[in-house]
Amino acid sequence: MQEFDQAWVLSRMRVEIEELPKWRDIVTVKTWIYDLQGSRSIRALEMYIGDKKIVGSVTYWAVFNTKLRKAEALALPHEHFEKYPDKEATTESFKKVNLQRESFLVAEKKIVLSDLDIVFHANNVKYLEWCLDSIDHKPILRQQLKSFDMNYLRELMLNDTIQIHTATEDKQTFFSVSKDEKPSFALELNWK
């Protein structure tokens, strides 16, 4: 893909958690492609301890031109990839997180070099870290996180200044990451 100035970027993700692995647990990860067409791919992942499934995830990926900084069709042939459209990893699919919520500012941050990935924008894991770092860790460590949904809306670059907003209602915690009042990311944590 690099030859064509292309990379896969994560657009949406849903993760459902039965339990989190513990120190020294040996986990097995199974992954497969649901669908792959043109400029998009839907992929799945499951995590096991022995025969017990502990995590399931479904993700939506887009082909991104690293020079033009926009989505485009995959330049490589992909018809030979095996797809498993009927094998479900989660009970619900990824979704569009509702951004129309009252929320309050919890943090402001400048994107630094260690936040970047191979295509020189903020790595998708960093968004989740920024949000989780702003909440009480105890419910997560007590295995109270049931699922979460993430939407990546706009890329963030080195030296961008972002604002992280949050809101809690019922058994749900919401986050948005914005730059210049435009949302770049949305996260919804669902609690047991």
Taking the model in full, what pTM does it have? 0.93
Mean pLDDT, to the nearest integer, of 41-56?
A: 98
pLDDT at residue 142, as a whole number? 94
Q: Please list the residue range(s) of the chain that carry CATH number 3.10.129.10.
A: 2-71, 104-191
Q: What is the pLDDT of residues 122-180, one digit of tens each?
A: 999 999 999 999 999 999 999 999 999 999 999 999 999 999 999 998 899 999 999 99
pLDDT at residue 35, as a whole number? 95
In CATH, 104-191 is 3.30.70.1450: no
Better-scored residue on pLDDT, 37 or 31: 31
Q: What is the pLDDT of residues 72-88, one digit of tens each?
A: 989 988 888 999 999 99
Distances (CA, A) of 130 to 84, 133, 142: 33, 5, 20
pLDDT at residue 38, as a whole number? 85
Which of 132, 117, 116 shows the shortest CA–CA distance to 20? 132
pLDDT at residue 32, as a whole number? 98
Residue 2: is its pLDDT beyond 90?
A: no
In CATH, 2-71 is 3.10.129.10: yes
Q: Per-residue confidence at 92, pLDDT binned at 50, 70, 90? A: very high
Is residue 19 within 8 A of residue 54, CB to CB? The reply is yes
